[in-house]
Structure 1
Amino acid sequence: MAAASFLWVSCAEQKPAQKAETSEKASIETFKIAREKLSTELRLPAELTGFQEVNIYAKISSFVKELKVDIGSTVKKGQLLMVLEAPETSSQLSAAKSRLHSQEAVYMASNGTYNRLLEASKTEGTVSKNELDVAESKKNADFAQLQAAKAAYQEIQNLISYLQIHAPFDGVVAARNVNIGAYVGPAGKGSDLPLLVVQQQNKLRLAVYVPELYTGYLSIGDELSFSVKSLLGKKFKAKIARKAGALDSRLRSERVEMDVYNESKLLLPGMVAEVLLPLNAKDSTFVVPKSALVASSEGNFVLQVENNQTKRTHIQKGREFADKVEVFGELTPSAVLVKNASEEIKDGTAVK
């Protein structure tokens, strides 16, 4: 029994030593960094609007006399949409026309007087130089008054032309906020809402705000796909047509617009779409497995192996795709990194 007890104690003392020896020899897996052109996709909400859209208001205070269109009406450029009525403008036009005729008569008289004096002055001593100058000045002043009267008359005519509202482009009437007899005007209660809203719906504008981090991956002409909730399972294609070239001060993102041709009228202005943006790298970048990246309170870093020892190298994280991630920092093409990095591996850890 004594011999057996001694043997059991000896075995118990040897086991921890063997375990420690095994842990010291534990290997650390490494890999050589490589460059890749990472292609990822970004899903963002976007909004569809009419390529052209206008809210139509009344230029002068008036009443609605005729409505030629209603909601959903398809209109052509220049088509008459609405007729307004303002009786006082007719009186103003008559008054302006009378002033114009009066001024024409005054100018004709002063012009005739000047021409007769000019003809008489050809005979020396008949008309003084001062009298001729006074007649010429009177003629010029009356001509200026005539031009002012013509301008005033034209102004009233222009105001009357605003009583007939025409379509500014081909489109569809999306809203109507007045009825016949309603009072409308440039100010006051009659100007709260637009009379009509006209939208171009055969061509739409798809606008999306792209975060600052991803703006450099998009170029004009890139093709993307999008979908809307009302047409589940159906995908639409569009190409980037315009970029703002600046970041929105509130969202810190860039507005990117696509032109969407909508001849079938399946898509409606105001729809919210989900856009799938392709983010294709222009140049190859360093790409590492996600397990090689450590995110700590001190920042993101990888464990670089130099002279068979680990060294923390702080980096900036880029795009992520599946189990890979872009990294930017002081890394060389021949760098060797620890594949399964963690904060427990300190600087200077021996690596075989």
Structure 2
Amino acid sequence: MKRYKKFAIPLFVVVGLAFQSCKSEDKKFSDDATEIAVVTHEAFRLKKGAVASSFRIPGELVANQQVDIYAKVSSFVEKLLVDVGTEVKKGQLLVTLDAPEISSQLAGAESRLKSFEAVYLASKSRYDRVLKTSKTPGTISQNDLDMAFADQQSDLAKWESAKAAYREITDAKNYLEIRAPFSGVITSRNVSAGAYVGPSGRGSEMPLFTLLEQKNLRLVVNVPELYASTLQKGSAVEFTVRSIPGKIFKAEVSRLAGALDDRLRAELVEMDVNNAEGELLPKMVAEVTIPVNTDGNSFAVPQSAVLNSTLGMFVIKVENDSSIWVPVSVGRSGGGLIEVFGELSDGDILLKSVSEEIRDKAPVKAEITE
């Protein structure tokens, strides 16, 4: 019994010390928890604002006008007056063709035209005499007068037909001289002097020339559906090309398709580009910078205020010192801001920088900085 009494006090002391240590740890943990709960986060008051930004999209420069020039009639190339790279004016002679049979047809048509003209003039003269004589009663019957008039009209019709045939062959002969339909540059030549050309069959597989208008180009872009409403007729855009690094070109929207493409779900937009100096070439690929400015009727928040989690997209609102995850959808972004849409109101207090560590309905304090 004396041995047990000897160790009773030390055992009690050890248990007391251990209990005291546990209380100290609990107090330290409680202090730490209190310290975490009172961490202050930067916040701001929600308000509507415009988001100004831009996005880059590839485009293509194409000729304002382009045409493949073919021969209208079967013929042989007599003389080429232009070649690849030749700048031509509207109406300038490009090539002369030779078709001897057309000259023969024209001579025959001219002969028939003169013959029918003579026949018509004779019948008209006869009708005029008969008409004048018929004014004396009893000299010419009505039937003879009608027959003379019918002969005159028949000969007139034949003469008109001969004139039409003559014009047709004359026009065909005019096709032996091919002229430029507009001012531009010859970009390809596929024939040589003496080659047979024609409207169909051998000799017409490829055009004689390809003519492009180079002084005026079109910049063609397909604008995605999200940004289709940002461009209007007259909107200004900037673009660059790889062959001239560092130089920024300007253009204005001239034409909008007004509908989305079935395959790309994008709207075709064309801009007219003045290329008087000839720096740009058709078929060049351009990087187009399109400005995007919202109307200011939606809420704009810093991009860091949007939480993109596996559950969706949220902003964290502070209400009564408690966090509330508000589901949102986003719109356009730029300049560090992004449009958000959800159950939000003017003046709501939102956290400026969010993460999943800030749980929903957790205690939180906010310091409004702006």
TM over 0.5: yes
Separation of aligned partners in 1, 2:149 and 2:343: 87
Deviation at 1:195, TM superposition (A): 1.3
Quick check: 2:54–2:290 contact (8 Å CA) kept in 1?
yes
Separation of aligned partners in 2, 1:280 and 1:150: 66
CA-to-aligned-CA distance 1:236-290 (integer Å, 9 cap, x gap):
2333333333333333322333333333322222211111122233445321122
- Corresponding residue number in structure 1 for 2:337: 324
Deviation at 1:80, TM superposition (A): 0.7
Structure 1 159/28 Cα, relative in aligned 2: closer, same or farther at 3 Å? same
Deviation at 1:165, TM superposition (A): 0.9
Separation of aligned partners in 1, 2:329 and 2:153: 78
Q: Could you say what secondary structure the match of 2:62 adopts? A: strand
Deviation at 1:338, TM superposition (A): 4.5
Structure 1 298/113 Cα, relative in aligned 2: closer, same or farther at 3 Å? farther
Quick check: 2:51–2:335 contact (8 Å CA) kept in 1?
no
2:85 pairs with 52, 68, 72, which one?
A: 72
2:60 pairs with 40, 47, 52, which one?
A: 47
2:309 is the alignment partner of 1:272 = no
2:73 pairs with 60, 69, 72, which one?
A: 60
Separation of aligned partners in 2, 1:32 and 1:179: 77
Over alpha carbons, which structure has the higher Rg? 2
CA-to-aligned-CA distance 1:289-348 (integer Å, 9 cap, x gap):
223334567764545566776666554422122532112455433334344556787876
Separation of aligned partners in 1, 2:298 and 2:94: 58
Q: How does 1:89-238 map to 2 (within 5 A)?
A: 89-238=102-251
Q: Could you say what secondary structure the match of 1:213 adopts? A: helix
Deviation at 1:27, TM superposition (A): 5.9
Q: Which amino acid aligns with 1:215?
A: A
Separation of aligned partners in 1, 2:140 and 2:328: 99
Deviation at 1:36, TM superposition (A): 2.1
Query: TM-score, normalized by length of structure 2?
Result: 0.82
Structure 1 148/336 Cα, relative in aligned 2: closer, same or farther at 3 Å? farther
Q: Which amino acid aligns with 1:77?
A: K
Moved more, 39-48 or 85-94: 85-94
Separation of aligned partners in 1, 2:31 and 2:319: 30
Quick check: 2:80–2:193 contact (8 Å CA) kept in 1?
yes
Question: What RMSD, in angstroms, separates the aligned Cα atoms of the two structures?
Answer: 2.9
Query: TM-score, normalized by length of structure 1?
Result: 0.86
Structure 1 16/314 Cα, relative in aligned 2: closer, same or farther at 3 Å? closer
Q: Could you say what secondary structure the match of 2:84 adopts? A: coil
Structure 1 94/346 Cα, relative in aligned 2: closer, same or farther at 3 Å? farther
Separation of aligned partners in 1, 2:206 and 2:215: 25
2:266 is the alignment partner of 1:253 = yes
Quick check: 1:67–1:83 contact (8 Å CA) kept in 2?
yes
Structure 1 129/306 Cα, relative in aligned 2: closer, same or farther at 3 Å? farther
Separation of aligned partners in 2, 1:330 and 1:95: 88
The count of aligned residue pairs is 352
* Structure 2 unaligned residues grouped into runs of 5+: 1-13, 366-370
Separation of aligned partners in 2, 1:30 and 1:94: 95
Q: Could you say what secondary structure the match of 1:151 adopts? A: helix
Structure 1 14/304 Cα, relative in aligned 2: closer, same or farther at 3 Å? closer
Separation of aligned partners in 1, 2:260 and 2:233: 16
- Corresponding residue number in structure 2 for 1:82: 95
Separation of aligned partners in 2, 1:297 and 1:3: 50
Q: Which amino acid aligns with 1:287?
A: A
Separation of aligned partners in 1, 2:309 and 2:110: 83
Q: Could you say what secondary structure the match of 2:243 adopts? A: helix
Q: Could you say what secondary structure the match of 1:34 adopts? A: coil
- Corresponding residue number in structure 1 for 2:305: 292
Q: Could you say what secondary structure the match of 2:170 adopts? A: helix
CA-to-aligned-CA distance 1:54-98 (integer Å, 9 cap, x gap):
221111222211100111112122111111122222222223223
Q: Could you say what secondary structure the match of 2:277 adopts? A: coil
